[in-house]
């Protein structure tokens, strides 16, 4: 489907200004943000995605910002816009965290940032919960296992550098699955200053949690919860490659 892009020059007026200054703004704030976008070479924005604000479709909405599809020059990007009611007064900290996970090939690539915006790689795909519901037919189990293993590998790499995502217990909002790759997203609650629990959180969310766990069990038989929990305990004590490989073996990945 061809997505239409609207010039940011039009964002000084409703309904577009409601996205740029969500949830409540002044004309001065909007004009300052348009200038900020021009400095980032953001030319236009397209309204598409599974979430809506008013009648406009967007890629996502969180406590810190709203995410839209945009163009930086001629390149499609995901643009995160800081909410005006956010407790964060800048986006630099989140951009630095994303830059750090990029060094181990995790997350969408960071392209640019400013006080109120983060410009990153646009990952076309579906949230993992919806994706699991949609897969069927020959090869679906292999596809599911490959995707879960890839996500767990990303989580292991985060554990190894002492980086905690912070929200992986609600996996359905924080993993996107595309045709070419799957990716963890949304690092706004991440930290390098607390104990990491990426592998354990996401394993529990996929295999033990009631929502996605039931969908996964519909496709392939997973081991008993007690066995998974025991293996996770062993992993938490060591967080070594050997203990991680043992977890993958138990999960039949």
Each residue's pLDDT expressed in tens, for the chain with a length of 253 residues: 557 999 999 999 999 999 999 999 999 999 999 999 999 999 999 999 999 999 999 999 989 999 999 999 999 999 999 999 999 999 999 999 999 999 999 999 999 999 999 999 999 999 998 898 888 878 899 999 999 999 999 999 999 999 999 999 888 889 999 988 899 999 999 999 999 999 999 999 999 876 888 888 888 888 999 999 999 999 999 999 999 999 999 999 9
Q: Same domain, yes or no, for 115 and 139?
A: no
Domain of 76, CATH number, reads: 3.30.200
Number of domains in the chain: 2
pLDDT given for residue 210 in this prediction: 67
User: Which of 65, 97, 121 is the endpoint of a domain?
Assistant: 121
Q: Is residue 1 part of a domain?
A: no
pLDDT given for residue 74 in this prediction: 92
Q: Same domain, yes or no, for 69 and 132?
A: no
Q: Same domain, yes or no, for 132 and 241?
A: yes
Among 29, 75, 65, CA closest to 185: 65
pLDDT given for residue 169 in this prediction: 87
Q: For residue 89, what are its two tokens? A: 């007064």
Q: Same domain, yes or no, for 217 and 237?
A: yes
pLDDT given for residue 219 in this prediction: 86
pLDDT given for residue 173 in this prediction: 85
Q: Same domain, yes or no, for 104 and 157?
A: no
Q: Same domain, yes or no, for 169 and 207?
A: yes
Q: Is residue 67 part of a domain?
A: yes
pLDDT given for residue 212 in this prediction: 84
User: Which of 80, 99, 121 is the endpoint of a domain?
Assistant: 121
Residues of the domain holding 143: 126-250
pLDDT given for residue 2 in this prediction: 57
Q: Same domain, yes or no, for 181 and 229?
A: yes
Q: Is residue 217 part of a domain?
A: yes
Q: Same domain, yes or no, for 141 and 105?
A: no
User: Which of 121, 139, 165 is the endpoint of a domain?
Assistant: 121
Q: Is residue 209 part of a domain?
A: yes
Q: Same domain, yes or no, for 36 and 143?
A: no
Q: Same domain, yes or no, for 159 and 200?
A: yes
Query: Residue 235 in contact with residue 246, Cβ under 8 Å?
Result: yes
Which residues lie below 8 Å from residue 89, measured CB to CB, with a gap of 6+?
Answer: none
Q: Is residue 23 part of a domain?
A: yes
How far does CA 73 lie from the centroid of its chain? 23
pLDDT given for residue 247 in this prediction: 97
Q: What DSSP string runs through the chain?
A: -PPP-EEGGGGGSTTTHHHHT-S---HHHHHHHHHHHHHTTEEEEE--SSEEETTEEESEE-SSEEEEEEEETTEEEEEEEE-TT-S-S-SHHHHHHHHHHHTTT-SSPEEEE-SSEEEEE---SEEHHHHHHH--STTHHHHHHHHHHHHHHHHHHHHHTT-B-S-GGGGGGTEEE-SS-EEE---TT-BSSS---HHHHHHIIIIISHHHHHHHHHHSPPPPHHHHHHHHHHHHHH--HHHHHHHHHHTT-
The count of other CB atoms within 10 Å of the CB of residue 240 is 13
Domain of 199, CATH number, reads: 1.10.510.10
Q: Is residue 177 part of a domain?
A: yes
Q: Same domain, yes or no, for 147 and 66?
A: no
Q: Is residue 39 part of a domain?
A: yes
Q: Is residue 51 part of a domain?
A: yes
Q: Same domain, yes or no, for 144 and 98?
A: no
Vertex 84: Cα angle to 82 and 86 (nearest 5): 70
């Amino acid at each position: 489907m061809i997505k239409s892009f609207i010039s940011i020059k039009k964002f000084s007026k409703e309904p577009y200004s409601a996205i740029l200054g969500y949830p409540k703004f002044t004309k001065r704030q909007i004009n300052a943000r348009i200038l900020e976008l021009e400095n980032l070479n953001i030319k236009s924005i397209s309204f598409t995605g599974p979430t809506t604000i008013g009648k406009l479709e967007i890629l996502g909405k969180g406590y810190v910002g709203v995410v839209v599809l945009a163009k930086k020059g001629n390149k499609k990007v995901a643009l995160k816009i800081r909410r005006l009611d956010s407790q964060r007064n800048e986006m630099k900290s989140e951009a630095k965290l994303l830059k750090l996970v990029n060094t181990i090939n995790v997350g969408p690539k960071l392209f640019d940032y400013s006080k109120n915006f983060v410009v990153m790689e646009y990952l076309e795909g579906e949230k993992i919960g919806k994706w699991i519901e949609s897969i069927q037919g020959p090869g679906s189990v292999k596809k599911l296992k490959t995707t879960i293993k890839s996500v767990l590998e990303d989580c292991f790499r985060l554990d190894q550098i002492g980086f905690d995502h912070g929200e992986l217990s609600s996996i359905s909002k924080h993993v996107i699955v595309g045709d070419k790759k799957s990716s963890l997203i949304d690092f706004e609650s991440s930290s390098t200053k607390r104990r990491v629990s990426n592998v354990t959180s996401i394993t529990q969310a996929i295999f033990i949690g009631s929502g996605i766990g039931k969908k996964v069990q519909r496709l392939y038989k997973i081991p008993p919860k007690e066995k998974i929990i025991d293996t996770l305990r062993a992993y938490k004590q060591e967080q070594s490659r050997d203990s991680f490989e043992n977890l993958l073996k138990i999960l039949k990945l």
